[in-house]
Structure 1
Amino acid sequence: MLKREVVTDYILECLSGLTADKQRPVGLHSNLIEDLGLESIKIMDLLMMLEDQFDLSIPINILIDVSTPADLTDALMIYLEEHHGVV
Structure 2
Amino acid sequence: MTSSTNDIRVHVTGALQAAVLRPAEIEGRTRIVQDLGLDSLAVMNLMMALEDHYDVSIPLDRVAEIVTVDDLVRAVTQLTQNERA
- Which TM-score band (shorter chain)? 0.7 to 0.9
Match of 2:64 in 1: 64
Could you tell me which runs of 5 or more consecutive residues in structure 1 were left unpaired when the two chains were aligned: none
Match of 1:76 in 2: 76
Aligned structure 1 segments of 4 or more residues deviating by more than 4 angstroms:
none
C-alpha displacement at 1:42, in angstroms? 0.6
- The alignment partner of 1:64 has SS state of helix
TM-score between both structures, scaled by the size of structure 1: 0.83
TM-score between both structures, scaled by the size of structure 2: 0.84
Distance 2:23 2:4 in 1: 29
Match of 1:17 in 2: 18
Distance 2:19 2:84 in 1: 28
C-alpha displacement at 1:37, in angstroms? 0.2
Could you tell me which runs of 5 or more consecutive residues in structure 2 were left unpaired when the two chains were aligned: none
Give the structure with the higher percent helix. 2
**Whose RCO is larger (CA < 8 A, sep 6+)?**
2
- AA at the equivalent of 1:5: N
Distance 1:25 1:47 in 2: 20
**1:18-51 CA distance string (max 9 Å, x none):** 115x132222211111110011101101111111
C-alpha displacement at 1:14, in angstroms? 0.4
Q: 2:17, 2:23 within 8 Å by CA — same for their partners in 1?
A: no
C-alpha displacement at 1:10, in angstroms? 0.6
Q: Percentage identity across aligned positions?
A: 24
Match of 1:4 in 2: 5
